[in-house]
Amino acid sequence: MTVLAYEIMTPSIKAVPQSWTMDRLARFLTDNEITGSPVTDETGEIVGIATLKDITEFRWNASRSEGGKQLTAEEQEEARRLRMVIFEEMAKVPVEVRDIMTPIVLSVDERTPVREIADIMMREHLHRIFVTKDQKITGIITTYDMLKLISDKALTTRCAGED
**Every domain of the chain and the residues it spans:** 5-57+96-160
Q: What is the mean pLDDT of residues 69-81?
A: 79
Q: What is the pLDDT of residue 7?
A: 94
- pLDDT tens-digit profile of 10-40? 998 889 999 999 889 999 999 998 889 999 9
Q: How far is CA 150 from the centre of its chain?
A: 23
User: For residue 123, is pLDDT > 70?
Assistant: yes
pLDDT at 87 over 90: no
| Secondary-structure breakdown of the chain: helix, strand, coil percentages, each rounded to the nearest 5 | 45, 20, 30
**Position 51 pLDDT exceeds 80:** yes
Alpha-carbon distance of 37 to 109, in angstroms, equals 19
Please tell me the predicted confidence (pLDDT) of residue 63.
52
pLDDT at position 134 is 87
**Region 135-144 average pLDDT:** 89
Q: What is the pLDDT of residue 121?
A: 95
Angstrom distance (rounded) from CA 37 to CA 45: 13
pLDDT for position 16? 95
- pLDDT, position 69: 62
Max Cα distance, the chain (Å): 64
For the domain bounded by 5-57+96-160, which CATH number is listed?
A: 3.10.580.10
Buried/exposed code over 5-21 (b: 16+ C-beta within 10 A; e: otherwise): bbebbeeebebbebebe
Residues 112/139, Cβ–Cβ less than 8 Å:
no
Mean pLDDT computed over 133-157: 88
Name the phi and psi angles at 147, rounded to 5.
-65, -20
